[in-house]
Structure 1
Amino acid sequence: MPTSQRSPRTRRHLPPSVKRLACAGASATLVLGLGLAPGTANADVSVLPTLVTTDGIREHVENLSTIAEYNGGNRATNTPGYDVAADYVVDQLKRAGYRPKRDEYDYEMWEEHSDAVLTQLSPERREFAPEEDFVTMSYSGAGDVTGAGAPVDYDSQDSGCTADDFAGFPEGAVAIVKRGSCTFEAKTSNAAEAGAAGIVIVNNEEGALLGTVGEESAIPTVGSTTETGDALVAAGEDLELRLKVDASVTEKTSYNIVAETKGGARDNVVMVGAHLDSVPEGPGMNDNASGTATILETAQQLAKLEGPNNRVRFAFWGTEEQGLIGSTKYVEGLKEKEKERIALYLNFDMLGSPNYGRFIYDGRGELEGSLPPPSGSGAIQKTFEDYFAQEDLAAEPTEFSGRSDYSAFMEAGIASGGLFSGGDGTKTEEQVEDYGGTAGVDFDPNYHTAEDDIDNINWRSIDELSGGVAHAVETYSESTLPVNGVAPRTFQAQEFLPDRVGDLWLR
């Protein structure tokens, strides 16, 4: 486990008067006696980070672990594990005084029934290993095809992005394209229209390319490692491949859990989200019981404070692991006026990685892999940066790449931000100096496996990051001024009544 110089929950130094207010259930606005304005982003006097404890979060994680253990070993969407976990969240929210609702949506559920096959038949036979050398893209069409392997503009980042790339493409061949500037859906659609029997999309980074084509494709689609793709291209004109995908799509209904505070401005809503589902392969304790438990505990403790200036809405998303479906359906289902009322969205997906880092989503759009962030997202990033700086804890930005539930909010133009403890990236020596842990090892070596269990949660990571979660929720429940220009309702402009105009007295 990574080490740190601070023990859990000893890092917040509140004045005794503020601690008494917190214990009495008073609002953070009552710290005005200390000379602070409502919504002041000052970690030293935030009440909610003191109320949201690691022990409270641990209890929720333990309960979600028990639910997964007794319900097939996971909490995947449309399984008993998900339904019982949702019942637990609903019950906990009701006990805290919320009125949670199940937000239902219909979607197409993609399932792979057996391992895919990618075999080089000639010039010499070579078997590629699923999961290691390649993976099936979600929503890949089914099929068992054999044909020539045909690279398509392989050395370009626009490989396969236009119909022109497939000019002269041999009918029935398996296209080999490189990951790059356009979506996998576009590459696959262009290949199918050109007569390809299947497609291999080659990663431009380390590892097999785990991706989605969005909707069921017309042809089998897999993502490979760079090494696999390069080996296929190097085989030359005699390359012949077999590609098999055994999968299907069925119509399903699932749901998110959504609850909001009773008080606060209805037209300036602070949304806080974490996905509730796990992958079918395991219980998903870091991904994402850690985020679910943290925002659940935050919601419970926020309810003990005086009513917020801004309404706070908590969302526990479903079907995230199938492609961000629950959150996307939610945003798509909002009327334009309802979207305009959302001041910002905070996302918390994985907060307890075993080999953790302290990552803040790149609201300023400074990292190469980040999507263009909506206005106000940089202010959210600064709120988290200021918090960790006051706690003497190093933190760094992480890409806003679209890999979690913030994606639909960003696309809708809603300012977004959040925290992340790291997933399948590799920790560097420099990061070990900041966070402890082991260099050369993934932040979460158990990502999307059966080993993502409660024994592999890093509680120090949860302790440190949950403080940032609580601080941001409390800050924005009082004021979103730096994010969207909306001042607290307690602010009133003074009437302009001058005593004179120029040299002439009026009164």
Structure 2
Amino acid sequence: MGHSLRLALCATVAATSALQIPFLNSPSRTHDQVAVQPSEKPLINSTAIQEAISGDRLLRRAEKLYEIAKLGQEEYNHPTRVIGSAGHAGTLNYIYEELLKLGDYYDISNQSFPAVSGKVFESRLVIGNDVPTSAAPMGLTPATKNKEPVHGDLVLVKNEGCQSTDYPTDVAGSIAFIKRGTCPFGTKSENAGRAGAIAAIVYNDEKEGVSGTLGTPSPYHVATFGLSGDEAEPVIKKLKQTKRVDAIAYIDAEVGSILTVNIVAQTTGGDPENVVMLGAHSDSVDAGPGINDDGSGSLSLLEVASQLTGFSVNNAVRFAWWAGEEEGLLGSDYYVATLPEDENQKIRLFMDYDMMGSPNFAYQIYNATNAINPNGSEELRDLYIDWYDEQKLNYTFIPFDGRSDYDGFIRNGIPGGGIATGAEGIKTKKEQEQFGGKAGDWYDPCYHQLCDDVGNVNVTAWVVNTKLIAHSVATYAKSFKGFPKRTTSVVSEAYVEETKYHGPRLFV
């Protein structure tokens, strides 16, 4: 088991940067590391495991993770733990070695899978005489031809560009101007490419910009930008008046496939037919070290997993560290998609913990209801509500909209939910009254940036939420009394229709 993971990690490094990481050679267990058998330990107790959570221990882990992120400097010129980097390989190794220290309390496994990774090195969009400030390359976009600027007229696409018939013949050799709508951005880009467009711009149907992804690469994808509704409006007006609008598009980008790894650890004790599952993502974006996003969640899981070894459990607990979340939930999607039906049914619920310590935090609960989500999601939501109430802490609800690794579980009928502390969203005046901080600023001003380092984590929020993670594990590891039984692996169409995100980027 250890040998296979080391091979996978080495392959990850070899496939991307060819760097050699000295501590990839993880030690095997020694005899003095064998844990006390779970049956000899007291039954899990929520209060006791919460009391074991320490801010000092979490901070030491964060400092270690930042040092690991520095392994990415040689290739990226700054610390990063993006998939395929030495920093991410080091992160996987650190998680694995920390789990090994816990002896035989856990069965540790890994899941290697191919992942798509994209980089945009430079981009520029000029429309007429203007350079739109909201223009942003789509995730996983290909480059413009020969990685050079391309020039052409904008051609307004009919409807929302979801059908090949929406593209007029004069889009060939031109730049397709497409309204955001009901189908994925990747479909629009592919249709534009098939119609002969040299590039595409997807403009928002609302004032804001579009931070989207094309998703699974297609040979027909063309270089694609997102554009805000505000900046698109005068362009649309001119095009509808049959006036000519020319543009220059330039993207220097690469899209490729790498090998990466999910790490999964399940208690050897507890009923394996009734599994409590929770996860966090092990990767960062390429722009920075990702100590809050999602180093905080990954390290919270690692600390709870460590403290859980002091107890026995009635139900098996399964911890997971997903790779490729920032590229579009790749690791969690792959994991759930490859689960046999009988294994799917064993997972009673999945809890997602992504960004636990944002500096301008709010205590956020995913508003997962049974009306739209698999039965049991609402009961999990209510567990979080009850805990915050017991602690006399304020909380707020946020959309359950596919932005993190719970999405694949929900789509495959597994109840889910989670908590967060906020990303690029704006804190309201009411939330300032509830949680402190500064209204009008992002919850995490360093979201997806180089400054997401150790100093970017609010330790108070991180400790509070790690205690809540411990409580969620303790509750269900002890009993599923009153929690709905699994019935189906089919999710309601309402969730699918309402979900516009697939990870941190919009895909529709």
Same fold, TM-score > 0.5, yes or no = yes
Instruction: Name 1:221's counterpart in structure 2.
Output: 224
Is 1:28 the counterpart of 2:44? The answer is yes
Are 1:28 and 1:46, in contact at CA under 8 Å, matched by a contact in 2?
no
Q: Of residues 113, 124, 135 in structure 2, which corresponds to 1:117?
A: 124
| Cα 1:437–1:204 shift into 2, 3 Å | farther
Counting only pairs closer than 5 Å after superposition, residues 426-441 of structure 1 correspond to structure 2 as: 426-441=426-441
Q: Tell me whether 460-469 or 220-229 shows the greater mean CA deviation.
A: 220-229
**Residues 206 and 265 of structure 1, relative CA distance in 2, 3 Å threshold:** farther
Is contact 1:365–1:400 with CA below 8 Å preserved after alignment? no
**1:346, distance to aligned residue in structure 2 (A):** 0.5
- Tell me whether 1:344 sits opposite 2:346 in the alignment: no
Check 1:261–1:291 CA distance in 2 against 1; reply closer, same or farther (3 A cut). Answer: same
| Corresponding position of 1:60 | 61
Structure 2 counterpart of 1:107: 115
State the partner residue of 1:253: 259
Q: Distance in 2 between matches of 1:149 and 1:480?
A: 58
Report the Cα distance in structure 1 between the residues aligned to 2:483 and 2:229, rounded to whole angstroms.
40
1:174 aligns with 2:175: yes
Match of 2:316 in 1: 311
Structural RMSD (CA): 2.1
Q: Report SS of the residue matched to 1:355.
A: coil
What's the offset of the Cα at 1:55?
A: 2.3
Q: 1: distance between equivalents of 2:390 and 2:68?
A: 37
Give the counterpart letter for 1:192 in structure 2: G
1:189 is displaced (CA, Å) by: 2.7
**Do the aligned residues in 1 keep the contact of 2:71 with 2:86 (CA within 8 Å)?**
no
Runs (5+) with no aligned partner, structure 1: 1-23, 30-44, 367-371, 487-507
3-state SS of 1:118 partner:
strand
- Paired position in structure 2 for 1:490: none
1:148 and 1:241 in contact (8 A); partners too: yes
Alignment correspondent of 1:274: 280
Native 8 Å contact 1:375 1:483 kept in 2: no
Q: In the aligned structure 1, how far is the partner of 2:208 from the partner of 2:361?
A: 20
Q: Matches of 2:189 and 2:388 in 1, distance apart?
A: 43
Query: What does 1:294-333 correspond to in 2, within 5 Å?
Result: 294-306=300-312, 308-333=313-338
1:206 Cα deviation after fit? 6.0
Aligned residues: 431
Query: Of the two, which has the highest radius of gyration?
Result: 1
Task: Give the corresponding residue for 1:127.
Answer: 131
Quick one: distance in 1 between partners of 2:119 and 2:270? 42
Deviations 1:147-206 (A, max 9, x none): 2212335xxxx6223344335663333222232322212222333333333221123456
Contact (CA 8 Å) 2:179, 2:204: kept in 1 or not?
yes
Pick closer, same or farther for the CA change 1:302–1:189 going to 2, 3 Å. same
Question: What is the distance in 2 between the residues matched to 1:243 and 1:71?
Answer: 30
CA contact (8 A) 1:163 1:190 kept: yes
Structure 1 Cα separation of the partners of residues 471 and 82 of structure 2: 30
Kindly indicate whether the alpha-carbon contact (under 8 Å) linking 2:355 and 2:420 is maintained by their aligned counterparts in 1: yes
Give the TM-score of the pair, scaled to structure 2: 0.80
Give the corresponding residue for 1:91: 97
1:337 deviation in Å?
Answer: 1.5
| Cα displacement (A) at 1:386 | 0.7
Distance 1:459 1:172, change over 3 A: same
Percent identical: 32
Cα drift, residue 318 of structure 1? 0.9
> Residue 213 of structure 1: CA displacement?
1.1
Partner of 2:162: 161
1:287 matches 2:287? no
Counterpart contact for 1:415–1:483, Cα < 8 Å? no
Q: Given residue 94 of structure 1, which amino acid in structure 2 is its aligned partner?
A: L
Contact 2:144 2:251 in 1 (8 A): yes
Tell me, in whole angstroms, the C-alpha distance in 2 between the residues paired with 1:67 and 1:480.
Answer: 38
Are the equivalent residues in 2 in contact too, given 1:118–1:241 (CA < 8 A)?
A: yes
Deviation at 1:365, TM superposition (A): 7.1
Per the alignment, in what secondary structure is the counterpart of residue 361 of structure 2?
A: coil
Match of 2:151, SS? strand
The aligned residue for residue 188 of structure 1 is 189
Trace 1:376-387 onto structure 2 (pairs within 5 A). 376-387=376-387
Q: Summarize the alignment of residues 199-218 of structure 1 with structure 2, pairs less than 5 Å apart.
A: 199-204=200-205, 207-217=208-218, 218=220
Quote the Cα distance in structure 1 between the aligned partners of 2:65 and 2:201: 38
Report what 2:402 is aligned to.
402
Quick one: distance in 2 between partners of 1:485 and 1:330?
A: 22
Using the alignment, how far apart are the partners of 1:470 and 1:177 within structure 2? 47
Equivalent residue for 2:48? 47
1:216 match: secondary structure: coil
Deviation, structure 1 residue 231: 3.8
Instruction: Give the Å deviation of 1:483.
Output: 3.8
CA distance in 1, matches of 2:119, 2:331: 17
Secondary structure at the counterpart of residue 63 of structure 1: helix
CA 1:338–1:189 in structure 2 vs 1: closer, same or farther (change >3 Å)? same
Deviation (angstroms), 1:390 = 0.8
Q: Which moved more, 1:62-71 or 1:440-449?
A: 62-71
